[in-house]
């Protein structure tokens, strides 16, 4: 059954498509909504997101053994991010995780919950865990600031762009200047039947997913299903910083993660693109990224930012010159694109490096 948010009945609501189908892309004024969201005065309806719960005394140690992240000591109320990988180290699931002391809550993309719950159910064996897909009973709402009226609701706080324990930054720019620091992000778990009432009690206006996506892109924050494909490994998207613990125990895909980090380089890298906005249009995700006549990658996410104008994320070949001017080709329509490096071309291969841009978390 296709999900339709009750907030789509609000005045001016225009439904989103793609990953955000079922909730509003905007409510009539996308740039104003974006400004309000950035200032902490609006909330985005993310009630189409999937929610999976894992309960039982073995839940955190079990999730640690299965995933890229160490969550065995995750304290009630703390937030983290974990990946489930293929044996080749490619990303299958990316979950936001929050624990309340008895249950671990996994927030995922809309169509990800059934597959994730099914996988976890198959991996239970004799452990004391219970898995449930509770997406129909719970809604998610996103904000850039804590909501005073929602203190009774669980809230996942995005660790991005902080470098977590066991993580590493694959960016070349100083950490203090990372644009993700301008975008704090909180996702609240709200009983689905209370969503409309909760929005009213919050005192916040509504901002559509066009607003939240623009802020995400500007923060260089990758998203499953947008920046990922069937070949994506965490290093390519700088996800080692928040979603991977490099010194935890074995898990599926660990060999690839360790080998690329220590001895090799990721074959592709995430870049931020400042697009020529003179056409007053935006290229579609999936458009080719060209360096001269050569196709070097693909646009993954595009938005009109309320301050920067037309912006995008793209995944391109590691060998592409980081100083070169690029062109986005949307079915024959060219857009000049100035690139800003996110994942540096020489990312990885840390064994033997006495210096370099790769940084562990601060002591």
In this predicted structure, what is the pLDDT of residue 356? 43
- Work out the average pLDDT over 322-339: 97
**How crowded is residue 94: how many other Cβ atoms within 10 Å of its Cβ?**
25
In this predicted structure, what is the pLDDT of residue 303? 98
Domain with CATH 2.40.30.110 in the chain: 267-342
pTM of the model: 0.96
- What is the CA 297 to chain-centroid distance, rounded? 20
In this predicted structure, what is the pLDDT of residue 351? 84
In this predicted structure, what is the pLDDT of residue 362? 53
Tell whether the model's pLDDT for residue 109 goes beyond 50: yes
pLDDT in tens, 52-103: 999 999 999 999 999 999 999 999 999 999 999 999 999 999 999 999 999 9
Tell whether the model's pLDDT for residue 357 goes beyond 60: no
- Work out the average pLDDT over 328-352: 94
Place 112 in a pLDDT band, splitting at 50, 70 and 90.
very high
Is 6-218 a domain of CATH 2.30.40.10? no
Compute the mean pLDDT over every residue in the chain, rounded to the nearest whole number: 95
- Work out the average pLDDT over 332-342: 96
Cα angle vertex 317, ends 242, 293, to 5°?
Answer: 150
Domain with CATH 3.30.1360.120 in the chain: 6-218
In this predicted structure, what is the pLDDT of residue 278? 84
CATH class (in words) of the domain with range 267-342: mainly beta
């Amino acid at each position: 059954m296709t999900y339709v948010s009750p907030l789509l009945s609000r005045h001016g609501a225009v439904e989103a498509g793609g990953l955000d189908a079922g909730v509003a892309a905007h409510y009539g004024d996308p740039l104003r909504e974006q400004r309000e969201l950035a200032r902490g005065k609006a909330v985005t309806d993310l009630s189409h997101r999937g929610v999976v719960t894992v309960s039982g005394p073995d839940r955190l140690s079990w999730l640690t053994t299965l995933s890229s992240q160490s969550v065995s000591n995750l304290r009630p109320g703390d937030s983290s991010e974990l990946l489930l990988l293929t044996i080749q180290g490619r990303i299958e699931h990316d979950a936001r995780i929050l624990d309340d002391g008895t249950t671990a809550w996994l927030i995922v993309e809309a169509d990800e919950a059934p597959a994730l719950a099914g996988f976890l159910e198959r991996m239970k064996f004799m452990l004391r865990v219970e898995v449930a897909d509770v997406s129909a009973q719970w809604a998610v709402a996103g904000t850039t600031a804590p909501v005073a009226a929602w203190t009774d609701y669980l809230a996942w706080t995005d660790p991005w762009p902080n470098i977590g324990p066991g993580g590493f930054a694959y960016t070349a720019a100083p950490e203090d200047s990372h644009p993700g620091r301008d975008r704090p992000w909180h996702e609240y778990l709200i009983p689905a039947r209370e969503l409309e009432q909760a929005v009213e009690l919050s005192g916040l206006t509504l901002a559509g997913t066009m607003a939240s996506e623009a802020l995400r892109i500007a923060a260089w924050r990758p998203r499953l299903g947008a920046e990922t494909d069937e070949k994506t490994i965490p290093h390519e998207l700088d996800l080692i910083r928040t979603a991977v613990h490099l010194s935890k125990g074995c898990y599926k895909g660990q060999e690839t993660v360790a080998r690329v980090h220590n001895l090799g380089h990721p074959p592709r890298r995430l870049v931020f693109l400042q697009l020529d906005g003179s056409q007053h249009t935006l290229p579609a995700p999936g458009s080719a990224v060209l360096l001269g006549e050569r196709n070097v990658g693909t646009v993954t996410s595009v938005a009109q930012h309320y301050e920067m104008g037309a912006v995008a994320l793209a995944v391109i070949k590691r060998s592409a010159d980081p100083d070169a001017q690029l062109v986005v080709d949307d079915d024959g329509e060219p857009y000049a694109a100035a690139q800003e490096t996110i994942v540096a071309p020489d990312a990885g291969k840390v064994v033997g490096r006495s210096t370099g841009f790769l940084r562990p978390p601060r002591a």
